[in-house]
Chains A and B, each alone.
Chain A
């Protein structure tokens, strides 16, 4: 069936009657002329009469049809299939213009971004609408789309489109399309109008979810109908090759050093042709030169992971950035990561049974383990008597090795642990369970009970083994696979039995002997941690110190107790997602420094604040720029950048995948050529459109008729 985009212009069809009117009312009166050769005129007239009549009729028809064709063309007719398309109804259409403002629209093509091209297309689509067609404009920019009913406020739609800016966010066009359809359905008094959605997008495949239901809106009688959807390809079918850093992670790597990391960057080539070798640089914030430069050969349409080893020279907050050479989509050419590099762990090793013979010294194996080359721990060895004068606050961890009594330092130890320090307790012959229970009651994960002798000293037979090991625990996470053998191979002839825990936070048994008795028990006390090891760290009760697993175990115990093994990788925030920053008491947000280096106040960024139980505040805001964000805090009258609060905002990797969606699949999802078409795609946009435009054909017919008329006149 035939529909018209501007049916009001059909009145122009009246112009087709002009030739008839001219013939009837404006016919020229013939001039009378007496003529001698009248007979010849008469005979010539008779001869040509039939031909002239036919010619006149053809002329009349040609002129009438020329005017009718032009008038019809002005009304912009199109051939439509009725089907279930809401657009099948002829006449003006209520229209929603949906402009994709996602990150991929920042792609530069032909000297301008796709967003600029798309906005121009959207404004052109707006200008093409007839006066009787209500319209609404909608931005698809990652925020939850809001259904807007079309209205005749054309200026508002134009303003929204004119002032729109591209974002770095991921846009879900399927959701936006559903919102647009909902808005069309909410238009009051527009039920008789056709419904049209004009989507201006770069047609990247990741923006669409074709497994979701297509957009529908209530039609006459409640039956859902599909709106006409015109997808305007801002890229005009051009390929959009793009190289992007889509992932950046860092894992501590002891092989690299005490502050060594294994950094893995993921690079995507979203093009269809091989881009050749591309350079990837890794840079740490504050460093003048790139830390590492590598060359990658990424197959088109694939991702490649590249792993770097990077040792940090100092602990503390750090920002790593992996960067590719600039390409048309600059948003994803680099990706940042913030992490806190562990500082050196200072451990106070209290030797409860010192001996001039190193092999018999209670702390010798521990000290040897903690002072190895790759150890982040710097131990300070004292005997039990020296504990009374030690400055606990100078250390991160205190290791009490077979210490009979802490004496007056019990309270200090308790304060030390509650303040965030770590306490390691190992058993031995010096231990009096009752005394220890009494002095360290508030710290012990489990009360000590008595010593169990499973086998004779040095004997393997009957000795206990570690049976249940919590390999998921950070302190024991390294003991997987073959490394586990080094742990379970240890023999324990004697070990301290414990009593059930009292009230309060239950302890965590990291490892237990094969008889079920706890071997390693952890408990949180305040901000600190306490780890109870129920055997000895020398060879008195066990051969574990001789095992290969002892060294890493002690280092990780020290690291865990000091908090160095905590997951300090700060997961990046995807732009457009809220980020919460915790400010400790006494501190106040001064400004946020964006990736572009500009400082913005909390008010500028819409930061919200919520008080926390510790007297501090949780600040929440939504970063909209990808890159590393710095936080400037005010404390004691001064402002400084707090590296611990720095974080990275990254673009959604889906926006980096600029591979195009097949227009045929899109039109099929939208209901086929009867209700959807893709404009700007070479070859017609995959399956036609909601109606075949006929006006160009009509104009061609008019021109042909005009030429025929001229030929007849000639």
Chain B
């Protein structure tokens, strides 16, 4: 749905933007214009060295003890510039390549825009952002880094992502467990059509290990409303199965099953202290990102 006040954040508008870069810029600019101040101030826990103060440095970081000794202003330099390592796990299975209407983004496109925007925002505030593209297995992995030059490979990887294969997110979770020894943020962007019913349990384990897990559950509006009436041959997008059904005849049952499943996912996520957000792909991205960023700010405080 087009939003008159934030036209560039509307998924339909984004869908008309050809490249992911343009989408990311539209999204982040829209989001930044909506923020009054950045919630991130750059904190580090491990001191590295001093640096002589120069105009423009944060006066709060002046080391007053050093000033007492040397009568000069020194600013503290920390060994680690970022205060967050974020793993952006993007599902690129076959089911993510679907869109319910021609003018709409596919779930993968929507998720890519979401992931890229997050990466940009994180890197901009000196957080490290990494990427995991995952289908039946981890298709592509980019370790988290906080440099601006790190964004380019993330955007390239997201742009090049092709929806294919079954949804097997446990491989991505295993990768995170293996490669993220420190506490980090894990942002899972997926439709959660995982054949493994233990996905949420695995995510809960991640949470228990100290990782901050956020789930962006992407679903096309058509998957939520099932607007089909006529006889249709439904084809599975991840294997060769098919089923013939008259839309209006199975609609009620479908919607019931979908509602029950969503309620179950939400309940399990809440039980495991996972940050869960249902994102219909017609929902403006700022409506998704701003609450997320606000939550992040509260956690950081």
Contact = CB atoms under 8 A, between A and B. Distances in A.
A33 interface: yes
Interface string B121-134: 00000000000000
Interface stretch (A34-42, A246-254, A327-335, A451-459): A34-42
B292 interface: no
Interface in A32-86: 32-45, 47-48, 52
Nearest to B230: A31
Given A41-B254, A42-B241, A42-B243, A33 B249 contact: no
A213 interface: no
Contacts of B191: 36
A: interface residue count bin: 20 to 34
Interface in B168-206: 191, 193
A286 interface: no
B253 A47 contact: yes
Interface in A186-220: none
A195 to B, nearest CB: 55
A30 interface: yes
Contacts of A29: 231
B220 interface: yes
Contacts of B98: 34-36
A358 interface: no
- Which among B193, B223, B250 has the greatest number of chain A C-beta atoms within 10 A? B250
A34 to B, nearest CB: 4
A223 interface: no
Contacts of A33: 228, 232-235
A41 B243 contact: yes
B244 interface: yes
B98 to A, nearest CB: 5
A28 interface: yes
Nearest to A48: B253
Contacts of B241: 38, 42
Contacts of B250: 41, 44-45, 48
Nearest to A713: B248
A502 to B, nearest CB: 124
Contacts of A37: 193, 223, 254, 258
B243 A45 contact: yes
A539 B251 CA distance: 135
A31 B231 contact: yes
A40 B258 contact: yes
A31 B244 CA distance: 9
Nearest to A35: B234
Contact of B233 (A31, A39, A47): A31
Contacts of B261: 40
B19 interface: no
A38 B243 contact: yes
Contacts of A43: 253, 257
B289 interface: no
B44 interface: no
B245 interface: yes
Interface in B202-247: 220, 223, 228, 230-238, 241-246
B117 interface: no
Nearest to B228: A33
Contact of A41 (B95, B107, B230, B245): B245
Nearest to B261: A40
A36 B193 contact: yes
B278 to A, nearest CB: 14
Contacts of B220: 36
B237 A38 contact: yes
B223 A41 contact: no
A347 to B, nearest CB: 118
A38 to B, nearest CB: 4
A524 B274 CA distance: 147
B168 to A, nearest CB: 15
Interface string B155-176: 0000000000000000000000
A100 B287 CA distance: 92
Contacts of A30: 230-233, 244
Contacts of A32: 232-233, 235, 242
A38 B253 contact: no
Interface in A420-464: none
Contacts of B245: 41, 44-45
A274 to B, nearest CB: 72
**Central interface residue in B107, B232, B235, B254, by most chain A CB within 10 Å:** B254
A34 B235 contact: yes
Contacts of A47: 253, 257
B70 to A, nearest CB: 64
B257 A48 contact: no
B279 to A, nearest CB: 14
B254 A40 contact: yes
A48 B249 contact: yes
Residue from A30, A33, A36, A40 having most chain B Cβ neighbours under 10 A: A36
Contacts of A38: 234-238, 241, 243
A336 B170 CA distance: 121
Interface in A1-45: 28-45
Given A44-B254, A48-B249, A36 B231 contact: no
Contacts of B253: 43-45, 47-48
Interface string B250-267: 111110111001000000
B230 A39 contact: no
A39 B95 CA distance: 11
Contacts of A31: 230-233
A40 B237 contact: no
A520 to B, nearest CB: 118
A29 B228 CA distance: 15
Contacts of A52: 246, 249
A31 B230 CA distance: 8
Contacts of B246: 52
A35 B235 contact: yes
B72 to A, nearest CB: 63
A14 to B, nearest CB: 27
A49 to B, nearest CB: 9
Nearest to A55: B249
Contacts of A36: 95-96, 98, 107, 191, 193, 220, 223, 237
Contacts of B223: 35-37
Contacts of B251: 44
Contacts of A44: 245, 250-254, 256-257
- Which residue of A34, A35, A44, A48 has the most chain B CB atoms within 10 A of its CB atom? A35
Nearest to A38: B236
A40 B257 contact: yes
A395 to B, nearest CB: 119
A42 B250 CA distance: 9
A48 B247 CA distance: 12
Nearest to A41: B234
Contacts of B257: 40, 43-44, 47
A34 B237 CA distance: 6
A467 B245 CA distance: 122
B230 A28 contact: yes
Contacts of A34: 98, 234-237
Nearest to B93: A36
A47 B251 CA distance: 11
Nearest to B163: A36
A45 B251 CA distance: 9
In the complex, the 6 A-B pairs of residues with the closest C-beta atoms, listed nearest first:
A44-B253, A36-B95, A30-B231, A44-B254, A38-B236, A30-B233
13 contacts: A33-B232, A34-B237, A38-B237, A40-B258, A41-B243, A42-B241, A43-B257, A44-B253, A44-B257, A45-B243, A45-B250, A45-B253, A47-B257
Given A36-B191, A38-B238, A42-B234, 5 more contacts: A31-B232, A40-B258, A42-B241, A45-B245, A48-B250
Interface of B: 95-96, 98, 107, 191, 193, 220, 223, 228, 230-238, 241-246, 249-254, 256-258, 261
Interface of A: 28-45, 47-48, 52
